[in-house]
Structure 1
Amino acid sequence: MIYFRVDGNEQIATGHVMRCISIAQAIVENGEDCTFIISDDYPKKLIQSKGFPTLNINSKWNDLELEIERLIELIREKEIKKLIVDSYFVTKKYLKEIGRHVRIIYIDDLNLFTYPVDMIINYANYYPKFNYESLYNLKNIKLLLGCEYVPLRKEFSQLERENEINNPARTVLITTGGSDTYNIASRLLIEIIEQKKYENINFHVVSGVFNQHLSQLQMLEKTYNNIFLHYNVEKMSELMMKCDIAVSAGGTTLYELCACGVSTICFAIADNQINGVEDFGHNNIMIYAGDVSKNINIVIQNILKGIALLYQNDQLREIYSKRMTNLVDGCGASRIAYEILRF
């Protein structure tokens, strides 16, 4: 049995949980069961809907040191040998104390400090800036680095785009994270409607489980026949592959779009997304629209400019698509599972 320590809620959304689920599914395919340890019941329904049991240790998701004693008890009780930790709220003390009782695999994005763990996973496109090889050169720590380890669900592995690239574009995907705190989706759609330039485009909007502005999106869908709202999408790859252009917040969704080869306009809605979206823009993998927390209006205008640039330019969309699929092949979760099980 492999255990995960991860949380998800309205503040931190579902990205951490979803990538852990992808890894867990790959581990199960290799014959090992998985259980999720969570601080509260917020992510319980989502995790259990994917077939995984949960253990609620009734702790605080943003103060992990408070749970050290309880987690050590659980590690002893369940005889846990390997623990995959995915949280930005780990501390050196937390990892050291827990690491005395179990082998820790840590999923990192931020390189906050030198982690006292047994394995580090950072699949981000920007990982080279952290110089992991130098930091951990003399330490007996396994490093899984780069986009070959992006932990996507199996549906994203070895995809081939069957449809011809439409010109002009006919469908746009909009996905703004699990909670869409800034109400980007609704505000963007209203701007698009007011422009009256894209009445022939169908806009497919994915609403996350913690979306606080769902009622406004539902009203827009009811009012306009080219707006389609999607919840709890079971086969995200199919929806992505149907679209000519995507507008997406940072996070794992961008790597899913890479695997699907959908030309993307990306933006940041949280500090931990900035490195990723800026790197995608800098390397011309995607069009970068900016950081919502700095100026939401500029980001929306940049998104509109991006749509205008890609709308009637199938050759540019093809160039972006090839760069994206060359970066991510969708097999990262299987590679991670293999390394964890043999570790």
Structure 2
Amino acid sequence: MIYFRVDGNEQIATGHIMRCLSIAQAIAEKGENCTFIISDDYPKALIQSKGFGTINLCSKWNDLELEITKLTELIREKEINKMIIDSYFVTERYLKEISKHIRSVYIDDLSLFSYPVDLLINYTSYYSKFNYESLYNLKSIKLLLGCNYVPLRKEFFQIKRNQINNEVRNILITTGGSDTYNIAGRLLDEISMEKRYKDINFHVVSGIFNQNLLKLKTLEENNKNIFLYQNIKRMSDLMMKCDIAVSAGGTTLYELCACGLPTICFAFADNQISGVEDFRDKKIMNYAGDARQNDNNVIQNMINGIELLCENAQQRETYSKKMTNLVDGGGACRIAQEVLAL
């Protein structure tokens, strides 16, 4: 049995849960069961819907040191020997104490300190800026670095886009599990007033913690070209159907890369900044900005980006090729192999 220690809720959304589920599914395909240890029941239904069990620690998701004793007791009780930990709220003490009892794996994209674990994963395109090789040079820690280890679901493995359409007919909008700034709703408000977009379908994916769901449903009811999705079973099918995407930062950007879907990206959290700016600097995606700094400006940049990509099939082709060259979708399987070999 492989255990995951991860959380998801209205504050931190579901990104950590989703990437751990991808790894868990890859591990399960290799014949090993997985269980998720969570601080509360917010993500329970999502995890169990994918066929995995949960254990509720009844702890504080944003103060992990308070759970050290309780988690250590659980490790002894369940005879846990391997655990994948995915939280921005780990501390050096937390990881050191937990790693005394298990083979530990940590998923990182911030490099806040030298992590006392057995296996460290950073699958981002910008991992090199953290100088992991020199930082862990004399330590017996296995490093899995770069986009070969992006933990995507099996549906994204070696998926191929046959062609870039001359005309844009379908646009995907996905703004994270909670969409704190109501970016999807406000963007659609602006677009629905423009006649030029009346023949384009807008496919909006809403996360389970989206507090603006009723507004999105109203937009769908009032506009024949707006379609709202929740709990979508195969995100890759929808991505492959679309010609352009608007997306928040996070693992979804790597899913879009695997699908070769030209994307306008934006950020709304600190942990997304490095990723979206790296994609901007490498000209892999069009970057609309940080919603926390000027959300109105971000909306306008999205509209400008949509207009640019609608008018320029060659630019869409260039983005698409760069994206598929970066991500092949096999990262979860590679991680599963390494975890099982620990």
TM-score (normalised: structure 2): 0.99
In the alignment, structure 1 residue 167 sits paired with structure 2 residue 178: no
1:139-288 to structure 2, matched below 5 A, reads: 139-162=139-162, 164-288=163-287
Matched letter for residue 193 of structure 1: S
Query: Would the aligned equivalents of 1:171 and 1:245 in 2 still touch at CA under 8 Å?
Result: yes
Q: Which residue of 2 aligns with 1:18?
A: 18
| 1:304 counterpart residue number | 303
Whole-angstrom distance in 2 between the partners of 1:82 and 1:105: 8
Contact 1:168–1:313 (CA<8 Å) still a contact in 2? no
Q: Structure 2, unaligned stretches of length 5 or more? A: none
Q: Which amino acid aligns with 1:125?
A: S
CA deviation digits over 1:197-218, x for unaligned, max 9?
Answer: 2111100000000000000000
Q: Distance in 1 between matches of 2:83 and 2:299?
A: 40
Deviations 1:171-224 (A, max 9, x none): 100000000000000000111122322111100000000000000000000000
- 8 Å contact 1:267–1:291 — kept in the other structure? yes
Structure 1: runs of 5+ lacking an equivalent: none
Residue 266 of structure 1, CA deviation: 0.3
Matches within 5 A, 1:124-139: 124-139=124-139
Give the structure 1 partner of residue 98 of structure 2. Answer: 98
**Alpha-carbon distance in 2 for matches of 1:19, 1:328:** 15
Q: Match of 2:266, as an amino acid?
A: F
Looking at structure 1, the residues matched to 53 and 289 of structure 2 have their Cα atoms a distance apart, in angstroms, of 38
Cα deviation for residue 316 of structure 1 reads 1.1
SS of 1:272's equivalent in the other structure is helix
1:129 Cα deviation after fit: 0.6
The residue number in structure 2 matching 1:47 is 47
Q: Who is 1:79 aligned against?
A: 79
- The 4+ residue runs of structure 1 with deviation greater than 4 A are none
Deviation of residue 168 (structure 1)?
Answer: 2.1
CA distance in 1, matches of 2:315, 2:89: 40
Code of the aligned partner of 1:171: N
Using the alignment, how far apart are the partners of 1:204 and 1:97 within structure 2?
45
> Contact 1:41/1:56 (CA < 8 Å) preserved in 2?
yes
| Letter of the structure 1 residue corresponding to residue 308 of structure 2 | L
Shift of 1:61: 0.3
Question: How far apart, CA to CA, are the structure 1 residues paired with 2:87 and 2:292?
Answer: 22
SS at match of 1:174: strand
Aligned mates of 2:281, 2:143 — CA distance in 1: 25
Query: Any idea what the Cα deviations from partners look like across 1:14-38, whole Å, max 9, x if unmatched?
Result: 0000000000000011111100000
Counterpart for residue 3 of structure 2 = 3
Q: Indicate if the aligned counterparts of 1:156 and 1:237 stay in contact, CA closer than 8 A.
A: yes
Report the CA distance between 1:79 and its aligned residue: 0.8
- Partners of 1:265 and 1:289 within 8 A in 2: yes
**Quick one: which amino acid aligns to residue 75 of structure 1?**
I
SS of 1:288's equivalent in the other structure is strand
SS at match of 2:193: helix
Alignment partners' CA distance in 1, 2:165 and 2:312: 9
- Identical pairs, percent: 72
SS in 2 for 1:194: coil
Amino acid at match of 2:239: M
CA positional deviation for 1:238: 0.2
